């Protein structure tokens, strides 16, 4: 492979990353708040990174992007509802929410894993639809079962009809309890004409994200991690090697769902309130967009992809929606740009992934044809040689 | 359920040491998670304490002119007569330290808040005068329910 081919392959493999970087950098001068970007970016990245990490293991097990991670997010939200209802405050409240959410997430993960095992090869679209379906179940729980079947103590969060949780849940009792546990603030920095505002660094949240990254690295080296890799590469070969394929796939989805539960709790503690019925709806799409922006595909993802992706996606969210109203002179285009770009990147990345796979197959076929041609030529030459002798 | 040999399936599995060990580990994990949940609930349970320095309707005692109260690990709050202040504390036995700001000895008492009680009210003038009970349960939502809120609108049909 010559240098030109290498460069073009590198460009093709990282096309989504380059498009996003170019778009964000182009919007930066028009965003009007460049000085605040480092602080906002730090808050956004630490808020989201855990959720995006939840997608790695199913990709590793060959199940593509687990859009049913919203089930884990729902479990986390149910935990937070109980936490607010029982008025468990601060970091203890988060721990309490996680403890409540864990068994629910495991249950949801088992359900999702079983469903996805029945539609091998179409996991992504199935998990997407499963997420929509379970949203209905979640709303049934939140709007009808809380206060009737599941007891609610606080009239503050209960709908006045006597059952159901209010649409917006105030999370003031747990707000920032993890981010502010141990945090440092850098001083403001002046770079030429630009003043970068102080950046708050939430050390505990970062430590948890780093610990999760190390856990994933360690997990990949375990027997179960190697089994997942084998299943992800080729299910038939893995089965022939004695690996329980279905069980391995279910475990990967359960781990992803439980991580999504914790990720959603970390995400929501960073925000003051929770949209009770639909806070989870965008979780899967945003996490998928982030990991795809980072250069991951439906069949390969790494920690590097997560970190690059979360940073780039939120860098784009900080610049493009703010630049768009200035460029187009209309304030309401900001949200349009946000949605358009996040969904657009998912579509673009999946199309590129399909294109790459097709290209790879074509290359493999061509290589086979050439190899077959060379063998035939060699055979013919050998036969001619034999005839002459 | 019995199998063909007349022994139950569970007892056969329980005879297997690997199964027994797995079961023990899983049971221990479940107990650990439940223990963490219970511990965080007890330690992190928040209560709102209403610090009251108001004149009662029956005029049975006088409010304190000025005082400073510190509850648990929170910051000290200053109250003047006719004022109520809300303070959130965690745990069931926070320490209340009141400086009366009149040269008299500060008072330090340990509150005992029932686990299920969300709000308690501390009548600081009663505490100063030694009138019992100076701490009582408080029910802010007893008469007024929050305003009606509609269920969310249905999302768009597919």
Tell me the average pLDDT across B135-156. 62
Q: Which residues of chain B have a CB within 8 Å of the CB of A95?
A: 36-37, 40, 44
Q: Which residues of chain B have a CB within 8 Å of the CB of A102?
A: 33
Higher pLDDT pick, A285 / A201? A201
Q: What ipTM did this prediction achieve?
A: 0.74
In sequence order, which residues have a C-beta less than 8 Å from that of residue A172 and are 6 or more positions away?
A272
In a domain, A234, yes or no: yes
C-alpha span between A241 and A248 (Å, rounded) = 13
* pLDDT tens digits along A352-387: 777 877 888 888 888 888 888 888 888 888 888 777
User: CB neighbours (10 Å) of residue B75?
Assistant: 7
**Rg, Å, chain B Cα set:** 27
**A282 in contact with B, Cβ within 8 Å:** no
**A170 in contact with B, Cβ within 8 Å:** no
pLDDT at B151 over 70: no
**CA distance to partner chain A, nearest, from residue B58 (Å):** 31
Q: Which residue of B has its CA nearest to A166?
A: B149
pLDDT band at A117 (very low <50, low <70, confident <90, very high): very high
User: Which structure tokens are listed for A354?
Assistant: 């399909």
In a domain, A43, yes or no: yes
* pLDDT tens digits along B110-139: 988 888 888 999 998 888 888 888 888 888
pLDDT at A133 over 90: yes
* pLDDT tens digits along A205-257: 999 999 999 999 999 999 999 999 999 999 999 999 999 999 999 999 999 99
Domain boundaries, chain B: 9-43, 46-137
**B130 in contact with A, Cβ within 8 Å:** no
Percent of chain B with pLDDT over 90: 20
Task: Please indicate whether, in this complex, the C-beta atoms of A159 and B151 are within 8 angstroms of each other.
Answer: yes
pLDDT at A267 over 70: yes
Q: Checking DSSP bridges between strand B46-53 and strand B119-123, what pairing results, if any?
A: parallel
pLDDT at B152 over 70: no
Q: Which residue has the tokens 């005692």?
A: B61
pLDDT band at A113 (very low <50, low <70, confident <90, very high): very high
pLDDT band at B2 (very low <50, low <70, confident <90, very high): very low
**A132 in contact with B, Cβ within 8 Å:** no
pLDDT at A337 over 90: no
Instruction: Show which of residues 48-87 on chain B sit within 8 Å of chain A, judged by CB atoms.
Output: none
Measure CA B80 to chain center: 26
User: Exposed, middle or buried, B71 (CB in 10 Å: 0-12/13-18/19+)?
Assistant: buried
Q: In a mutagenesis test of the B interface, which of A89, A144, A269, A277 is the best target, namely the one with the most B β-carbons within 10 Å?
A: A89
**Domain span holding position A21:** 3-132+166-367
Strand partners, A120: none
| Whole-number pLDDT of residue A300 | 86
pLDDT at B5 over 70: no
Q: Which residue of A has its CA nearest to B151?
A: A167
Higher pLDDT pick, B103 / B113? B113
The dihedral over CA atoms of A19, A25, A26, A28, expressed in degrees to the nearest 10, equals 140
In a domain, A150, yes or no: no
Higher pLDDT pick, B81 / A203? A203
| Whole-number pLDDT of residue B7 | 56
Q: Average pLDDT, whole number, for chain B?
A: 82
Instruction: Show which of residues 57-76 on chain A sit within 8 Å of chain B, judged by CB atoms.
Output: none
pLDDT band at A46 (very low <50, low <70, confident <90, very high): very high
**CA distance to partner chain A, nearest, from residue B69 (Å):** 21
Instruction: Give the least confident one: A88-92, A120-124, A360-364, B34-38.
Output: A360-364
pLDDT at A308 over 60: yes
In a domain, A372, yes or no: no
pLDDT band at B157 (very low <50, low <70, confident <90, very high): very low
Q: State how far the alpha carbon of A12 is from the alpha carbons of A56, A233, A312, A343, B33, in Å.
A: 22, 22, 18, 20, 47
Q: Checking DSSP bridges between strand A200-202 and strand B46-53, what pairing results, if any?
A: unpaired
| Whole-number pLDDT of residue B158 | 40
How many domains is chain A built from?
1
Tell me the average pLDDT across A57-76. 92
pLDDT at B149 over 70: no
Closest of A298, A281, A274 to residue A349, by C-alpha: A298
User: Which structure tokens are listed for B71?
Assistant: 């509850």
| Whole-number pLDDT of residue A349 | 76
**Helices (runs of H) and strands (runs of E) counted in chain A:** 14, 6
Q: Which residue of B has its CA nearest to A161?
A: B148
In sequence order, which residues have a C-beta less than 8 Å from that of residue A290 and are 6 or more positions away?
A48, A52, A306, A309, A310, A313, A314
**Rg, Å, chain A Cα set:** 25
**CA distance to partner chain B, nearest, from residue A218 (Å):** 21
* pLDDT tens digits along B85-102: 898 888 888 899 988 888
C-alpha span between B25 and B18 (Å, rounded) = 11
Locate the DSSP E strands across A177-315: 183-185, 189-191, 194-196, 200-202, 273-275
**A312 touches A24 (CB < 8 A):** yes
User: Which structure tokens are listed for A10?
Assistant: 């590198």
**A88 touches B41 (CB < 8 A):** yes
Q: Checking DSSP bridges between strand B135-137 and strand A189-191, what pairing results, if any?
A: unpaired
C-alpha span between B70 and B87 (Å, rounded) = 9
Q: Average pLDDT, whole number, for chain A?
A: 88
CATH 2.60.40 fits B46-137, yes or no: yes
| Whole-number pLDDT of residue A91 | 93
Q: State how far the alpha carbon of A347 is from the alpha carbons of A297, A316, A340, A351, in Å.
A: 12, 17, 10, 6
Task: Please indicate whether, in this complex, the C-beta atoms of A156 and B146 are within 8 angstroms of each other.
Answer: yes
Positive or negative CA dihedral for A133, A258, A53, A87?
A: positive
In a domain, A151, yes or no: no
**B80 touches B126 (CB < 8 A):** no
| Whole-number pLDDT of residue B156 | 44
pLDDT at B141 over 80: no
């Amino acid at each position: 492979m010559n240098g030109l081919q290498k460069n073009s392959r590198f460009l093709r493999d990282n096309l989504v990353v380059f498009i996003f970087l170019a778009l964000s950098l182009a919007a930066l001068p028009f965003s009007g708040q460049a000085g605040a970007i480092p602080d906002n970016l730090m808050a956004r990245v630490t808020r989201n990174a855990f959720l995006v990490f939840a997608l790695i293991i199913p990709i590793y097990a060959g199940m593509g992007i687990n859009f049913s991670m919203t089930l884990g997010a729902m479990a986390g939200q149910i935990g937070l509802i109980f936490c607010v209802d029982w008025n468990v405050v601060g970091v203890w409240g988060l721990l309490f929410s996680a403890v409540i959410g864990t068994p629910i997430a495991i249950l949801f993960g088992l359900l999702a894993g079983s469903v996805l095992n029945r539609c091998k090869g179409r996991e992504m679209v199935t998990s997407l639809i499963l997420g929509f379906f379970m949203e209905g179940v979640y709303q049934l729980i939140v709007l009808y079962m809380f206060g009737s079947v599941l007891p609610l103590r606080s009239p503050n969060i209960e709908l006045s009809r006597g059952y159901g949780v209010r649409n917006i849940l105030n999370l003031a009792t747990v707000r920032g309890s993890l981010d502010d546990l141990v945090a440092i603030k850098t001083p403001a920095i002046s770079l030429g004409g630009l003043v970068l505002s102080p950046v708050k660094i939430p050390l505990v949240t970062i430590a948890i994200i780093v610990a999760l990254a190390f856990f994933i690295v360690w997990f990949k080296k375990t027997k179960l991690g190697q089994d997942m890799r084998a299943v992800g590469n080729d299910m038939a070969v893995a089965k022939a090697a004695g690996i329980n394929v279905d069980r391995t796939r279910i475990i990967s989805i359960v781990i992803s769902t439980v991580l999504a539960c914790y990720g959603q709790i970390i995400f929501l503690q960073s925000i003051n309130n929770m949209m009770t019925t639909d806070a989870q709806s965008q979780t899967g799409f945003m996490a998928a967009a982030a990991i795809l922006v980072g250069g991951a595909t439906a069949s390969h993802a790494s920690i590097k992809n997560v970190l690059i992706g979360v940073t780039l996606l939120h860098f784009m969210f900080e610049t493009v929606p703010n630049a768009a109203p200035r460029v187009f002179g209309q304030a309401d285009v900001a949200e349009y740009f946000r949605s358009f770009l996040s969904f657009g990147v998912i579509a673009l990345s999946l199309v590129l992934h399909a294109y790459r796979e097709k290209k790879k197959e074509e290359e493999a076929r061509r290589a086979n044809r050439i190899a077959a041609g060379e063998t035939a030529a060699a055979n013919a030459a050998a036969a001619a040689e034999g005839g002459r002798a | 359920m019995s199998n063909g040999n007349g022994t139950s399936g569970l007892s056969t599995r329980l005879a297997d040491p690997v199964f027994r060990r797995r079961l023990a580990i899983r049971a221990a994990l479940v107990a650990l998670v439940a223990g963490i949940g219970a511990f965080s609930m007890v330690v992190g349970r928040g209560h709102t304490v209403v610090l009251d320095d108001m004149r009662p309707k029956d005029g049975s005692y006088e409010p304190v002119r000025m005082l400073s109260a510190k509850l648990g690990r929170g910051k000290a709050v200053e109250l003047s007569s006719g004022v109520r202040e809300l303070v959130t504390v965690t745990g069931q036995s926070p320490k209340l330290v009141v400086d009366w700001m009149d040269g008299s000895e500060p008072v330090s008492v340990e509150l005992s808040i029932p686990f299920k009680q969300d709000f308690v009210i501390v009548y600081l003038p009663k505490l100063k005068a030694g009138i019992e009970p100076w701490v009582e349960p408080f029910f802010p939502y007893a008469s007024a329910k929050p305003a009606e809120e509609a269920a969310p609108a249905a999302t768009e049909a597919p």
